[in-house]
Amino acid sequence: LSKKISLFTDSVIRRMTRISATYNAINLSQGFPDFQPPKPILDRLAEVAHNGPHQYAITWGAQNFRDALAEYRSRLLGRTIDPNSEIVVTCGSTEAMMVAIMTLVNPGEKVIIFSPFYENYGADTILSGAEPIYVSLNPPEFTFNPDELEAAFQQHPKALILCNPSNPCGKVFTRKELEYIATLADKYDTYVITDEVYEHIVYKPNVHTYFASLPGMYERTLTCSSLSKTYSITGWRLGHITAPPSIIEGARKIHDFLTVGAASPLQEAAYIGFKFSQQYYDDLLALYTHKKNILLDGLDSLGIIHTNPQGAYYVLLDISEFGFTDDLEFCEVLARDVGIGAVPGSSFFKEPVNYLIRLHFAKDDATLYEALNRLEHMK
Ligand code: GLN
């Protein structure tokens, strides 16, 4: 077998979903909602089931999907995006990120990754032959040290991966932080690959700034996102990359040979989401704000120390007081004996961190209350 395979494990996030299923635990590990997608999208899916399409779409995305997507991304990025040359539709942002890295990086070239990080980036860089340079986001605020970041840039990386809002720590990068990254990207001629799947889940008063919208940055940014979290359709595997034509031309070739294309019936059903009014996004944020409050208030009353996410739908819990030395073992016990699936924090950190676990709160209120109830019995 390829040597690459021994360089990373299977995804711990997705493994925890399987373990949760084994023990019939409440799955707060892999982040996905347990509520229905918006009704208009479901109604449209029912129509598509009968009327099609059921055959391949154009490799880089069905025309109507790309047209609607370009309009929506133009609004968000504050510039006109051309559906025919600046977009590629992918199988989730998972493929988008892999394609983005493979489009830019030659074997042996370096990529900056902030730690903690979404675990796919580690495997993505190894699979594309890149070498990660990790830069710490330091708890409790998950700020980076500007000098440490510049030192990483001095190693002449090809790209920096920016997960904003960040999974797992819930950090929303401030405009000032992004501007600093932009200055370095310019100075060291580095690309930026963003993963902005939680772009619409940013808690007030925090504000999401698209890196590609900063002056001069569109040219060097590959903006990756997906419909999974925004329209609660994680299983549909619909994502996309937006970037200048010269980059997208390369990305489309890689995407073509990796997957041929994202599911055509699902594109035909989901594209109407891009036409939703602002009210939809306000409601989505209100829903997640409410769920965040349920979980965080509950953890406070249990006296469990936790992060306070500025965005996304994850919270990191400090499990030091439970007396385990191994977060993996803690999560196994939590799933088996308490009935809650969680992700061990160590799977997100380059640093040796074993006192954190990650829970997500994209769940029905009653399920969140039940999880809190179970946690109380563990104490
Ligand atoms: N982003 C989700 C999480 O961190 C999972 C996404 C996935 O498994 N593709 O849990």
What 8-state DSSP symbol labels residue 138?
B
- Residue to probe by mutation, ligand 1, list 229, 234, 360, 361, most atoms within 8 Å of CB: 234
Contact indicator for 372, 299 with CB cutoff of 8 Å: yes
187 Cβ below 6 A of ligand 1: no
CA 128 to chain CA centroid, Å, is: 19
For residue 40, is the peptide bond before it cis, meaning its omega torsion is within 30 degrees of 0? no
94 Cβ below 6 A of ligand 1: yes
30 Cβ below 6 A of ligand 1: yes
Residue 96 Cα to ligand 1 midpoint, Å, equals 14
- Nearest-CA residue for ligand 1 atom 2 is 31
Residue 252 Cα to ligand 1 midpoint, Å, equals 24
166 Cβ below 6 A of ligand 1: no
226 Cβ below 6 A of ligand 1: no
CA-to-CA distance for 271 and 274, rounded, in angstroms? 6
13 Cβ below 6 A of ligand 1: yes
- Residue to probe by mutation, ligand 1, list 18, 30, 199, most atoms within 8 Å of CB: 30
Q: Which residue's structure tokens are 């946690």?
A: 375
pLDDT attached to residue 378: 80
* Domains, in order of start, for the chain: 3-37+278-378 (3.90.1150.10), 53-275 (3.40.640.10)
Residue 277 has a CB neighbour count (10 Å cut-off) of 7
167 Cβ below 6 A of ligand 1: yes
- Residue to probe by mutation, ligand 1, list 19, 32, 90, 331, most atoms within 8 Å of CB: 32
31 Cβ below 6 A of ligand 1: yes
Tokens standing for 9? 């494990």
CA nearest to 35, candidates 203, 221, 204, 233:
233
Per-residue pLDDT of the chain (379 residues; tens, 9 = 90+): 999 899 998 999 999 999 999 999 999 999 999 999 999 999 999 999 999 999 999 999 999 999 999 999 999 999 999 999 999 999 999 999 999 999 999 999 999 999 999 999 999 999 999 999 999 999 989 999 999 999 999 999 999 999 999 999 999 999 999 999 999 999 999 999 999 999 999 999 999 999 999 999 999 999 999 999 999 999 999 999 999 999 999 999 999 999 999 999 999 999 999 999 999 999 999 999 999 999 999 999 999 999 999 999 999 999 999 999 999 999 999 999 999 999 999 999 999 999 999 999 999 999 999 999 999 988 7
Does the CA dihedral 105-110-114-116 come out positive or negative? positive
HSE, side-chain direction, 13 A CA sphere, residue 29: 29
Helices (H), ranges, the chain: 12-22, 39-51, 63-77, 92-104, 120-127, 146-153, 175-187, 245-259, 264-270, 278-301, 327-333, 365-378
- For 370, residues 6+ apart whose C-beta sits below 8 A from its C-beta are 26
- Type and span of the H or E element at 90: strand 87-90
CA-to-CA distance for 315 and 9, rounded, in angstroms? 23
For residue 205, is the peptide bond before it cis, meaning its omega torsion is within 30 degrees of 0? yes
